[in-house]
Amino acid sequence: MIEEVPKMSFERVGMHSHIRGLGLDENGRARFIGDGMVGQVKAREAAGIAVRLIKRGKLAGKGILLVGPTGSGKTAIAMGIARELGEDVPFVQIAGSEIYSAEMKKTEFLKQALRRAIGVKISEERKVYEGAIEKIEIKKTRHPFNPYVEVPDSVLITLKTKDDEKTFRAGREIAYQILEQGIEEGDVIQIDAESGRVSKLGTTKEEEGIFLKRRVGLPTGPVLKIKEFTYTVTLHDLDIVNSRAGGILSLFFGGGMEINDEVRQRVDETVKGWVEEGKAVLVPGVLFIDECHMLDIEAFSFLARAMESELAPILILATNRGRTRIRGTDIEAPHGIPIDMLDRLLIINTEPYRKDEVREIVKIRAAEEGIEISDEAVEYLAELGEKTSLRYAVQLLAPAHVLAGGRVEREHIERAEEYFADIKRSIAFVEKLEGMLQ
Ligand SMILES: Nc1ncnc2c1ncn2[C@@H]1O[C@H](COP(=O)(O)OP(=O)(O)OP(=O)(O)O)[C@@H](O)[C@H]1O
Ligand SMILES: [Mg+2]
């Protein structure tokens, strides 16, 4: 058995670490609390419908726009969508402002993000010997140049499954791998018939000690069999691997590298070939762009064009802006998004949280951050969150915890509130100063 290592207490707790899904029931209805999500019922249900559309491939070439005030859970819902889509579906998150980096052109950054969001599920059938080691004998011989050293020469292995047993002799390559991996009787192994690669799957033996191996059952079927292996990579992974062929240095400076469009074309063609031969399946994922009002007109038109292409991920955008200028122009548009892009987007609104929702979210966050807090303090934060913002209420937890040094009470939150301003108060403060100076 592999035992999970307990989380270390000093680990940085991510803002959205408590979100494990959208918290919907079988009928797609939101439970008030579920998967770490609280309230915001309509938006969560809408997101659930979007997930179903994505899984059925019905949202290809389109996107979702999450619109709502700051701290209303837009990013949280996007994370929930990611979790619902499952491990195999790539989910890439960027912020609109990230495209303005000094290292890369805007469009190059976006291209890479788009290609990281498309998975290629490769499956391969391979002939393998698989079974538990019943008996193993490594034959050693003298080193050809040094008679005092013994080296493995060959190995005699008996592999067993529930239904079969086979004894065979294998050469030096395999003997070496067996020694290196410390493989012994009772271990379940797989040997690739063509390449001779040995992999250890675990052991069938009951063990004691510190270095516990994974317990696995005795395999079934014949020892020599054809097995299907699948693994998922992204188009961007393939781009990187293929451009690395050019220069070994790129291996060490992986990030921030511009990729040649020719490489991308070659990768696309190869992948299409695999798909036609039935060796691979494309898994379009999601590109989530938070604070999308930071994108400029060039970025939007690039994205709109990219969404037309056959190999496009689903786009999820989020913003808290109403009518505003499209960056890079003097044109005002809803949410600062050009109309041709808006036309492709399903809009989901997130509403400001009510007190009962803030209360539950505060409790979840406190538990997630390992902070003990009194009921009165939770109640006070709930009121505060309704008046200012959820985000502010959640943010005060950590400083209040520092001030308390133990259980957080209402007074600690009041003190934290004096030290740290919410946005409205901070703006009012600056405006008052400006008024005094005029
Ligand atoms: N419905 C919810 N259930 C549980 N936690 C939530 C929910 N909504 C938000 N949160 C949590 O509250 C905090 C603020 O929410 P979030 O960052 O998602 O807001 P936002 O709408 O993206 O804000 P902004 O516009 O400032 O980016 C996060 O820690 C988030 O995980
Ligand atoms: Mg956000």
Most confident of the following: 155-159, 240-244, 280-284: 155-159
Q: What is the residue type of 210?
A: I
Rounded CA separation 198/203 (Å): 14
Ligand 1: atom nearest CA of 391 is 14
Residue 189 has pLDDT above 70, yes or no: yes
pLDDT (mean) for 81-86: 87
- Ligand closest to Cα of 364 equals 1
Q: Determine the distance separating the centroid of ligand 2 and the alpha carbon of 319, expressed in angstroms.
A: 8
Nearest CA to ligand 1 atom 26: 70
pLDDT band at 431 (very low <50, low <70, confident <90, very high): confident
Residue percentage of the chain with pLDDT more than 70:
92
pLDDT of residue 1: 35
The preferred substitution site among 361, 362, 384, 424 for testing ligand 1, maximizing ligand atoms within 8 Å of CB, is 361
Q: Is the pTM of this model over 0.85?
A: no
Residue 73 has pLDDT above 60, yes or no: yes
Rounded CA separation 49/28 (Å): 8
pLDDT (mean) for 51-70: 87
Beta strand 286-290 with 314-319 is parallel
Q: Determine the distance separating the centroid of ligand 1 and the alpha carbon of 175, expressed in angstroms.
A: 55
Q: Determine the distance separating the centroid of ligand 2 and the alpha carbon of 122, expressed in angstroms.
A: 34
Q: Determine the distance separating the centroid of ligand 1 and the alpha carbon of 80, expressed in angstroms.
A: 11
Ligand 1 binding pocket includes 39 (Cβ within 6 Å): yes
pLDDT of residue 208: 62
Q: How far is CA 80 from the centre of its chain?
A: 11
Beta strand 118-142 with 91-95 is unpaired
For the chain, which residues make up each domain, given as ranges? 355-437
Q: pLDDT tens across 289-340, in order?
A: 999 999 999 999 999 999 888 778 889 999 999 999 999 999 999 999 999 8
Q: pLDDT tens across 364-377, in order?
A: 999 989 999 999 99
- Ligand closest to Cα of 67 equals 1
- Joined tokens for residue 436: 């005094």
pLDDT band at 12 (very low <50, low <70, confident <90, very high): very low
Q: Determine the distance separating the centroid of ligand 1 and the alpha carbon of 8, expressed in angstroms.
A: 24
- Ligand closest to Cα of 389 equals 1
Ligand 1 binding pocket includes 44 (Cβ within 6 Å): no
Residue 4 has pLDDT above 60, yes or no: no
Q: Determine the distance separating the centroid of ligand 1 and the alpha carbon of 178, expressed in angstroms.
A: 51
Ligand 1 binding pocket includes 363 (Cβ within 6 Å): no
pLDDT (mean) for 105-114: 92
Return the CATH number of 355-437, one of 1.20.1290.10, 1.10.8.60, 3.40.50.300, 3.90.850.10.
Answer: 1.10.8.60
pLDDT of residue 425: 82
Q: What is the residue type of 227?
A: K
Nearest CA to ligand 1 atom 1: 38
- Joined tokens for residue 401: 């915890």
Residue 422 has pLDDT above 90, yes or no: no
Closest by CA position to 394, among listed 76, 79, 47, 83: 76
- Joined tokens for residue 275: 């798909």
Rounded CA separation 34/30 (Å): 8
Place of tokens 């969150």: 385
Q: Determine the distance separating the centroid of ligand 2 and the alpha carbon of 82, expressed in angstroms.
A: 15
pLDDT of residue 10: 39
- Joined tokens for residue 303: 């994205």
Ligand 1 binding pocket includes 289 (Cβ within 6 Å): no
Residue 240 has pLDDT above 90, yes or no: no
Rounded CA separation 280/255 (Å): 27
